[in-house]
Amino acid sequence: MKNKEKLIRYCIYIILIVGLTVCVAMLFSQVRLMIFELAERVAQRKTSQYQEWQRALLSYAMGGIFFLILFGYCLLTASGKRLANEIKSEIRDCLAKIDWRSFIKPVLVMSGIYLLGILTIIRANFSYTDDLKRAIEGFRRWYDWSRYVSEFSSIFVHGDTNLTDISPLPQLLAVLLLSISSVLLVYVIADKKITVTRLLASIPLGLSPYFLGCLSFKFDAPYMALSVLASIVPFLFITHKKAFFFCSVVSLLIMCMTYQAASGIYPMIAVVLCFRYWNTREKTNNEVLSFLGRSVFAFCFAMLVFNFFLMKPYLRDDYYTSTAMYPVSHLLSGTWSNIKDYALIVNSDWGIIWKTCIILICILFIIKSFNISAQGKIYSFFVSIIVIGVSFILSYGFYVLLAKPIYLPRALIGFGSFLAILCIYVISDYNRIATIVVIALNWCLFVFAFSYGNALADQARYAEFRINILLHDLSALYPTQGGMQIQLKNSIDYTPSVKNIAKHYPVIERLVPRRLGGDNYWDTYYFANYFNFNQSEKTNITVNSPNENPISFDSVDLPVVLDSYYHTIQSDGNYILVVLKH
């Protein structure tokens, strides 16, 4: 036994020495340059992101040193072993108190609801933005956004390092993860009381318009859903301080390494739980402050570890977002500007019926808090309003601090979680009016999911029809010539069905890609690659949007060679300008 312990100790020493040696060596720029050049040779391609790679390797080296020291402390010192054993014991104790069998039926119920909700999305078989390139080229590249869990998990999901389209399997995995997330969210917010109405109240978590955008991804969907689950899991351990802190840090790091847009879910849950504990005097004020302090410290600690040791800096100014934050001098003004933009975008996305229900739910949240308050009624009234406002701001996650934040629908998934938390809180042990309002909102979201999936299919059919006509005309005009460049001016419009949905649900136009001639890079990529057009040996044509080419063909005054109902083609034999008509 002693020999075994000695062997283990020696192995730990060797791991620590080798690991620290490698990490310390990486602190020197010459070593990082060698690693960078080796990576280029292995990948057999050059990259211009030298500075980003250098910063990333430096962060990994520092992170490696930090984690190795922590690893050694926990395994080699008496105090470290004692701390590790305490955490392990607390985690086991928390898990032993949970009746896991009681989760089976709720998970099956929510799986059925979510699966039915995305049925039309699956039927549409729509390759959504990044899916286009992943299906054709098989690349992962989640690493570029520091999503290492997604990077490695995809290898197991797809059974290969090269990705292929295996839909709807990833979306079904996402449904399962979302179902577990909904059940756990109800378990946490509703004080371990799981009912059908409370489960229905959690529908915005997975079927909000913003998360429908995530579920549209054939490749990314399960990892986006995993980020939501990771943000909820730590609250299963709130009865034990060390276990809660440890699980919070680990889970938040998993969230950051899957999909950072979920970064607002954990603090929102913490705020609402603290409010519930305080308002009902379920815990003393000192206990509430202690829990809030642990939650804030765990969240900040995890974010700092991710930022300094794991995050790959992405600072390109020409991209749609970056990881750069506001400088300290502009932090408050910049953050306030982001909050206003976030509120305006959410307001413009949601239809009047949705917004009416949301306002009523917020009012019911305040009224319920006022009625059940064990504190002063006036205090409860104002604090409940503050909780709603703070939770809304937190729903945007740490994007609110970025100098160049992202407002795409998939980045706003925290708003759906915000609604789910409010709905579960309001519907729990309250009157029938609250139940009716909450169910009405969630029914509208459920129905919208069907409209959205059908809109994807409808827009795809129309886009392919327009692309087929355009490619036919181009191949007829230029059957053999090569080396030409094409620019697309304008874009095809949305179909009448999409326009009809947009009258009451404006977010649909931000969710459904146009496919041809839009501002999105993927619109042109689909046109150029999915029909073997850009890869034709006979034509060898490259396709560029006006935004990507320094020369605008529209200013060259090219002669018109074809004018049809759907488009006008202008060309001088070398350059082609396609003017798309609505």
pLDDT tens-digit map of 428-442: 877 788 999 999 999
pLDDT in tens, 273-299: 999 999 999 999 999 999 999 999 999
Please check the confidence at residue 543 and state whether its pLDDT lies above 60. Answer: no
State the Cα–Cα distance between residues 388 and 423, nearest whole angstrom. 12
CA distance 292 to 270: 7
Q: How confident is the model at residue 109 (pLDDT cuts 50, 70, 90)?
A: very high
Mean pLDDT (whole number) for 353-365: 95
Determine which helix (DSSP H) or strand (DSSP E) holds 83, and give its type and residue range. helix 78-96
Question: Is the model's pLDDT at 107 over the cut of 80?
Answer: yes
User: Residue 232 in contact with residue 184, Cβ under 8 Å?
Assistant: yes
Query: Is the pLDDT higher at 31 or at 370?
Result: 370
**pLDDT tens per residue across span 499-542:** 999 999 999 999 998 888 766 677 777 877 788 776 544 444 44
Mean pLDDT for 374-395 is: 93
| DSSP at 103 | G
Handedness of CA 440, 446, 447, 452 (dihedral sign): positive
pTM of the predicted model as reported, rounded to 2 decimal places: 0.91
Rounded Cα distance, 36 and 19, in Å: 19
pLDDT band at 233 (very low <50, low <70, confident <90, very high): very high
The separation between CA 135 and the C-alpha centre of its own chain, rounded to angstroms, equals 20
Closest CA to 212 of 418, 448, 396: 448
Report the candidate in 357, 238, 242, 256 with the shortest Cα–Cα distance to residue 302: 256
Question: What does the pLDDT look like over 398-428, one tens digit per residue?
Answer: 899 988 888 999 999 999 999 999 999 999 8
Q: How far apart are CA 115 and CA 131, in angstroms?
A: 20
Euclidean distance between CA atoms 293 and 334, whole angstroms: 26
Average pLDDT, stretch 32-59? 66
pLDDT attached to residue 71: 81
Q: What is the pLDDT of residue 541?
A: 46
Q: Inform me whether the pLDDT recorded for 490 exceeds 90.
A: no
Structure tokens at 86: 């305490």
- Maximum pairwise Cα distance, the chain: 88
Phi (first) and psi of residue 570, to 5 degrees: -115, 135
Structure confidence at residue 409 (pLDDT): 94
Strands lying side by side in the sheet with 575-580: 542-544, 485-489, 575-580, 567-571, 560-563
The pLDDT of residue 574 is: 77
Q: End-to-end alpha-carbon separation of the chain, Å?
A: 79
Res 260 pLDDT > 70 = yes
Q: Which helix (H) or strand (E) holds 362?
A: helix 352-372
- In one-letter notation, the amino acid at residue 131 is D
pLDDT at 52: 67
What is the four-CA torsion angle of 255, 257, 263, 269, rounded to 10 degrees? 10
**CB-hemisphere CA count at 13 Å for 154?**
27
Residue type at 173?
L
Q: What is the DSSP string of 164-175?
A: ---TTHHHHHHH
562 is written with which tokens? 């074809």
Q: Which residue has the higher pLDDT, 232 or 573?
A: 232
